[in-house]
Structure 1
Amino acid sequence: MARSNAILSLWQRCSRLPAGRWLFSRLVCFKAPYFGSISPRFERLEAGRCELRIAKRRKVLNHIGTVHAIAMCNMAELAAGTMTDVTIPATHRWIPKGMQVDYLKKAETGLRAIATVTQPPVWGDGQDLPVNVDVIDAAGQVVVRATITMWVSAKKR
C-alpha cells in the first residue's frame, strides 16, 4: 500500500499545473542538490513507478559526445529513490544499498528513465527491495539497465 507523503502530495498538486512538472523537478533537486546536475524532468510518479527525462546537453556529455555513464546512473538513482519513497508504507524508511548497472549501448540522444518495483506482500522489519530501472533513448532502445537495491526497514519508534 502506498503511503500518503509530502513528495506524492506535492507531485499530485504540481503535475496539474501548466509548468508543474518543471516546478516539481526543481523542488526535488533543491532538496537533493546533486541531482540538479542532470536537470531531470519528472513525467510520472506513483506507487511502483517513476518516469523522468533528461535532455542531451553539454553538461551531461562525455568526451565522445554521448551521455556520460554517471549521468545515467544519477537518473536511475533519482527515479528509483523517488519511486521507493512514494511506494513504501509510512511506517518504513529506505536507503540505497547497492547498484548493479549494465551499459548496453551508447546514449546519443536525450533519455528517459523508468523505475519499477514489485511490492512485497508484507513489509517486514528490514528487507532488500530491488528496484529495476531502464534508461531508454529517443528510439526506444534500452541503453542502461540497472537494479538498485533499497534497504527498507521499519522506522524507529
Structure 2
Amino acid sequence: MSKPSLLRTAVDRVRRLPKPLFSRAVTRMFNFQVRFAGTAGIRFEELSEARSVLVLENRRKVQNHIGGVHAAAMALLAETATGAVFGMNVPASHLLVIKSMNIRYVRRAQGDLRAVATLGAEQRLRILSEPKGDLLVPVTVTDESGEQPIECEMVWAWTPKKK
C-alpha cells in the first residue's frame, strides 16, 4: 500500500473538527501551499477523496472590468477544485500535474462562484493501481443564479517522483 499524499494526511488530521473549523483549516493549509489560490480567496467547503466543494466570492480583488469574477479567476477555481480532489488520491510517491485545461465561457457570471469536482471509485482505484497516467476530473462551476457560466474539462496526470 502506498503512503497517502501530504494533502490527504493533513486533511485526515483535521477531519474530526466541526464543519466550519474543518473548512477553515483546510482552506488555510491549502492556500498556504498554493499561494495563488490564497491570493484569490478560494475557500474550501468540503474536501474528501471523492469530492471537493470550493467557493470564490465575487469581490474586488478577483473582478473584471464589468464587476463579475474575472475569467482567469474562474479558471483558477475550477483548476483548484479538480487538483484538490485529485491530490487527495495521488500517493506521496508520485507527482500530480495538470495536463490540460479546456474552458468554455458560456455566459456572464452573477455573484459568487461554487465549484464541485468529483472522482468516482473506478478513477480513484486507477490512480492507485497504475504507475502513471492521466484522467479527466469532472467539475461543475455555478454562480449565484445556479447556472454554469463556464464549462470545463480538466485533465490531471500522475507520475512517479524521480529518486
What's the TM-score once normalised by structure 2's chain length? Answer: 0.83
Distance 2:32 2:91 in 1: 24
Partner of 1:70: 72
Letter aligned with residue 9 of structure 1: T
Provide the secondary structure at the position in 2 that maps to 1:53: strand
> More helix by proportion, 1 or 2?
2
Provide the secondary structure at the position in 2 that maps to 1:27: helix
Partner of 1:11: 11
- Greater Cα shift, 120-129 or 68-77: 120-129
Map 1:34-113; keep pairs closer than 5 Å.
34-113=36-115
| CA-CA distance at 1:30 after TM superposition | 1.3
Decide whether aligned partners of structure 1 residues 140 and 12 sit closer, same or farther in structure 2, where only a CA change above 3 A counts: farther
Q: Does 1:140 align with 2:146?
A: yes
1:129 equivalent among 135, 138, 141:
135
Distance 2:24 2:158 in 1: 29
| CA-CA distance at 1:121 after TM superposition | 4.8
Provide the secondary structure at the position in 2 that maps to 1:87: coil
Distance 2:22 2:130 in 1: 35
Residues matched between the structures, number: 157
Partner of 1:21: 23
- Structure 2 unaligned regions, length at least 5: none
- Structure 1 unaligned regions, length at least 5: none
Distance 1:147 1:33 in 2: 23
What do you get for the CA RMSD once the two structures are aligned? 2.3
| CA-CA distance at 1:34 after TM superposition | 1.3
Identity between Structure 1 and Structure 2 (%): 32
Decide whether aligned partners of structure 1 residues 99 and 2 sit closer, same or farther in structure 2, where only a CA change above 3 A counts: farther
| CA-CA distance at 1:8 after TM superposition | 2.2
